[in-house]
Structure 1
């Protein structure tokens, strides 16, 4: 008796293109004795299968649970279909469509199979720096449009040789429909050039590059998402020269090492950190330095950590195979500019930094900086979410309309939403120069195109002078929603944790525009997606010189001393007052008294700066957050006592700063070590804000707390705050999917904009 034959059509949406999904479906269907077709569409992958009902059911179960490692199924729908009498399973050509909802894989590290081929002298890809397959290699940075096919990537310029074409066409081959597939015969190639862009002769440009690095030269090396500037991490003079030319005086530089054994020579690696380092995303991971480290002390001065990554392209492996402990691999740009991606662009922009250039002829369509993570308070935390993770969306609890959120001024990202998916862009950077603003617009256009999102709503920060706000206000045909900075921080944390309703939100950062015109940053909010109230904040103090106070923390030290002690505060014997020119201090005091260019601030970031300067740790900074970071690094983690601070009862609660400053100054007078003072300062903040949360729980009944803002990059503060609130019976939500700093702002802006527009519709505005 012949079994009944039925047909079923499945549509699979998610990261299902360019990750070996169609050959997986092809082979799986054959294993289950099914026939039909599978093809890419603009909405994902379309599957038509015919066979016995039981075989189709088993096929569908395996499809959902045994898919390729890079695939991520978001949605799978199925309907009965007409039997066509198909005699075999086939892979059909991609089909375009009106609804383009497929997800694109990020760029991922080269896989072990490809590495083995590249290292095998008998393999035709031996030593080839662009070896890849369906399971690895470039994706996001080379795609121009969807569906993800070779003609819509930067590989369209390279016609495959017969051997590569055979691999590409064979469903049983690891390179079946691997769009970047190539070999030395038909694919991209590297070449070595001098600083003037002239090509240098030689058969082994990578080997020659290694020799030049060993000789102390600075190399610009074209990678996956842009150029790196590279020197030998053990060569102190080369690192110093790189810093001088790049105008990056003290900000830590990232390093790359061949494998975990090499990393362990200079850094401590926990099992969790080893997993992060070795994952397909290959982020930069912050690792504690070993004592008596062998790398240049200029790589990460006055810092307990290195930023370390393992190789993620074949080129990296070939370069590091030349017996380096580690290479400095810092972004190929002048400080604060976007990373260079084009060869001509790199020669022009980096010619005064790099001595030589190792370039290739595969175009990068969209720059993507290295991601940065750390393990803190028991979880992986993003500092920068970019290469390896973008454009994987953050999955939301509820569907949103199509929105573009324009992000903040610093550490900018943008966010586009579609249904339950929020797509945060790669790191764009600080919108403080024309080059970055151009990159900003390019990123928005590229994301809208490859995601096929035409936004109806545009969200931005309240600050009228942000470049992102100006961009939003200049757009037409969309509903504009302006969002308060710290509200966006808290809702970003709520969104990634899928939290509904109201929460107590602790929003701690350096700068955010308040509705009252002050500079906010030490805020306790009662917030939901639609609105917020300011429940408590640090008492205002002057911020003399406005943005100059960010660059020169001694200014905040003077402001806090005057606020706490009056004029007599400037006569106390303190490191900051012994170091800074007394005439400059007197002039600044006059500016504060006369309220000249001295906006009021409640910023916790500025309080960290002021205390760091009072202690003599840092009077001026070379990069954002440096003083606060060095104050954290100075703390003795064994100290748990704190200064006494009494909250001013009211609506909102006011948190006085003067008792903290008095405690710090008295400890200095008593010659208490800086390590103890720093720890007491941290613990004081934990105690005070826990007290505020307890009071607000009594007032409101709320017991969920969301923590957000750049200050929570401070691992000591985050860990102690979470532990204190958890011990106090609160449910604590923190960032794990997006950065807690301003790079996560755009997600909160999008969710708030949706709530506000929905509310206006409901009340008939």
Structure 2
């Protein structure tokens, strides 16, 4: 009936708090003459609306289909309610509740309007370094509990001045209910100190800091999620000094540039990459260098990409207004340790790394590193989950309360609650004690925010992982579930893309304990989230050197050369490797003969290491996967040729035999082929072998869906070519995008596997 009055209670789940949603709803309600109220309710938004059926319908379509820019609506519940006869529409005080489906807003880069404020001399926030509004600023890093109100953040110690409070209450301003809102009269302040924490008196810390950067000084700058170590990227001596102080000899360093025009001066930027660089999350984006040799000599040696981000806080923008050059913006930590995020911790632990500190008195509750992303086949792919994208949370229909402890390197943890799947930010290498302590602290913090207590604990099969030991330690009174490493990789991709049926899972990785006690990493599975069968794998190789071989990858090269059946080629390869390494390989060969300190592996990651050393690209590495990364970087993408390979069927298990590949590579070396050509042919061979094997498995098992996962697929050339070729053959192909494809994604895969095991009532 036209004009009939109706009343509904509407609950909106997702990223709906801290984004100006309530004032947006308030304004739409008043425009349409809707009565009632809106409130934060736990981690959601709840609305009670009254009005004519037509106007209420229009109102609901507007707020759900056209929400604020930062909103990410996961679910909406609408229930009919009796009419209460409201006379107006109001914003009610937040309701504290243990409501299901809780979300946390990630930290968001400074919006254009706030940039205008800090540039406008007539603004009350002119050059104020902590300017924010409902569309931007800190969120996850300052939240202590839900709902997202100021009293539940680290901003609770700053009392709003009358001007800020008026803006906070006024629905017509964009700072209406902006929880971190502040100004220079009532908010955090900047202080410039020496590396001992002694204050340097100056009228303008930003201007003084910029002057230091121009002079080649190294600065520790406190940002949204922690400290960065900063210097001019054009000052070769300063860059070398950062590497020396951080003991980071060759690993690429992140860059921050003033604007997109400056980025385009040094990098090739696609339309998609430009959009990601400039979006409100402002991650580090991996971009192809425009010139192999440019002014940034020591920033990213022997790789073809820079990791670049644009300014994302007022501090950054104000520094660049002082005409500083592009800067190194690397994590404020000692290599291997977690990022420093407290003033006291920075002065204590990284004072020897910097000359000065630019600090502030806004506390960080949860440290968050910068996210690292790239574009593959026009898709945004997250390599490191951090600021802007963390924490990951999505409704994935998980039935049980599970805590998953993740892997040991590139660690994260995940948990499931009321159907939701949550994953922490990147937390580093747990073999480092400080990282392990931060891992536990962050886990306790997330449990507190979400009011989470697990019923089940999931962890990796490897008995020596710190994450496994932690899982066993806390699971004494709970059910525990061990999940094979590569099954977890596969399941993480299935979880992201909501895949439940059986698939062909291809997991190319560096390491991971297999069911047979060997180290896996070149695997083909048939299965689902619940269970997998290993149906094919790269031929096992005996690697000598244990943990030392992960660093001295020439030992891996020796191990692969020892498997070459052609004695003449084998001796040629070993003698050449000796001349490159300037060391004897005899001891390693003898140890292989007597099986001393050796392990068997099917890892494609180790094969990449071996080929890198055999080609003389890298014999000893200083950061994870350096050999493989540089092997990809030297390849000539215009080469189409490949090498011979062999797929054998042994007792029903397909074995991908690399012997012909090694021999062909050695022949090319003897004939003087360029390294760029050999690398390309090797990559093309792995691609062809993978596609060939997948087609055979489709024919045998009648499965047409393929999952690609595992750390080796960080290789863009490899994953892109395999993806395109498989799609051209009619496969449905999926790879990790929002959930990292490397070991950071393991924890969510553990959640997916454990939940299915529990669904099958196997525990």
TM-score, normalized by length of structure 1? 0.97
Q: Which moved more, 1:600-609 or 1:445-454?
A: 445-454
CA offsets per residue over residues 323-381 of structure 1, 9 Å max, x none? 13311000000111100000010001111100000000000001100001111233221
Contact 2:17/2:43 (8 A) holds in 1: no
Contact 1:42/1:101 (8 A) holds in 2: no
Contact 2:460/2:468 (8 A) holds in 1: yes
Distance 1:468 1:692 in 2: 34
Distance 1:412 1:205 in 2: 36
Contact 1:612/1:628 (8 A) holds in 2: yes
Contact 1:486/1:512 (8 A) holds in 2: yes
* 1:209 match: secondary structure: helix
Distance 1:749 1:147 in 2: 28
Q: Which residue of 2 aligns with 1:403?
A: 402
Q: Which residue of 2 aligns with 1:725?
A: 726
* 2:563 match: secondary structure: helix
* 1:458 match: secondary structure: strand
Q: Given the alignment of the two structures, is residue 689 of structure 1 paired with residue 684 of structure 2, yes or no?
A: no
Q: Which residue of 2 aligns with 1:629?
A: 629
Contact 1:105/1:392 (8 A) holds in 2: no
Q: Which residue of 2 aligns with 1:5?
A: 5
TM-fit CA distance, 1:569: 5.6
TM-fit CA distance, 1:748: 0.9
Distance 2:147 2:363 in 1: 19
Q: Which residue of 2 aligns with 1:736?
A: 737
* 1:564 match: secondary structure: coil
Q: Which residue of 2 aligns with 1:151?
A: 151
Q: Which residue of 1 aligns with 2:604?
A: 604
CA offsets per residue over residues 484-533 of structure 1, 9 Å max, x none? 00111111111111112111111111111111111111111112111111
Which residues of 2 match residues 71-86 of structure 1 at below 5 A? 71-86=71-86
Distance 2:624 2:2 in 1: 73
132 and 602 in structure 1: CA distance in 2 versus 1, 3 angstrom threshold: same
Distance 1:95 1:455 in 2: 25
Contact 1:254/1:284 (8 A) holds in 2: yes
* 1:543 match: secondary structure: strand
Q: Which moved more, 1:536-545 or 1:620-629?
A: 536-545
Q: Which residue of 2 aligns with 1:451?
A: 450
Which residues of 2 match residues 508-657 of structure 1 at below 5 A? 508-565=508-565, 571-572=571-572, 575-583=576-584, 585-650=585-650, 651-657=652-658
Q: Which moved more, 1:443-452 or 1:157-166?
A: 443-452
Q: Which residue of 1 aligns with 2:190?
A: 190
Contact 1:617/1:627 (8 A) holds in 2: yes
Distance 1:365 1:572 in 2: 58
TM-fit CA distance, 1:568: 5.5
Contact 1:448/1:454 (8 A) holds in 2: yes
Which residues of 2 match residues 454-533 of structure 1 at below 5 A? 454-476=453-475, 477-533=477-533
CA offsets per residue over residues 221-271 of structure 1, 9 Å max, x none? 000000000000100000000000011110000010111011112112111
Distance 1:353 1:413 in 2: 27
TM-fit CA distance, 1:570: 5.6
TM-fit CA distance, 1:421: 2.6
* 1:520 match: secondary structure: coil
Contact 1:253/1:329 (8 A) holds in 2: yes
Q: Given the alignment of the two structures, is residue 334 of structure 1 paired with residue 351 of structure 2, yes or no?
A: no
* 2:299 match: secondary structure: coil
Distance 2:175 2:382 in 1: 32
Contact 1:6/1:53 (8 A) holds in 2: yes
Unaligned runs of 5+ residues in structure 1 are: none
Unaligned runs of 5+ residues in structure 2 are: none
Distance 2:457 2:414 in 1: 10
CA offsets per residue over residues 91-149 of structure 1, 9 Å max, x none? 11111123353311100100000000110011110000000000111000000001111
Contact 1:400/1:751 (8 A) holds in 2: no
Q: Which residue of 2 aligns with 1:315?
A: 315
Contact 1:575/1:615 (8 A) holds in 2: no
Q: Given the alignment of the two structures, is residue 59 of structure 1 paired with residue 52 of structure 2, yes or no?
A: no
Distance 1:566 1:546 in 2: 26
Q: Given the alignment of the two structures, is residue 297 of structure 1 paired with residue 297 of structure 2, yes or no?
A: yes
* 2:172 match: secondary structure: coil
CA offsets per residue over residues 714-737 of structure 1, 9 Å max, x none? 111111111221222221111111
Q: Which residue of 2 aligns with 1:713?
A: 714
CA-atom RMSD in angstroms = 1.6
Which residues of 2 match residues 411-422 of structure 1 at below 5 A? 411-422=410-421
Contact 1:508/1:712 (8 A) holds in 2: yes
Q: Which moved more, 1:477-486 or 1:42-51?
A: 42-51
CA offsets per residue over residues 445-467 of structure 1, 9 Å max, x none? 12222223322111111000001
* 1:276 match: secondary structure: helix
Contact 2:512/2:520 (8 A) holds in 1: yes
Contact 1:401/1:418 (8 A) holds in 2: yes
Contact 1:490/1:507 (8 A) holds in 2: yes
Distance 1:102 1:290 in 2: 43
Which residues of 2 match residues 99-138 of structure 1 at below 5 A? 99=99, 101-138=101-138
What is the count of residue pairs matched by the alignment? 760
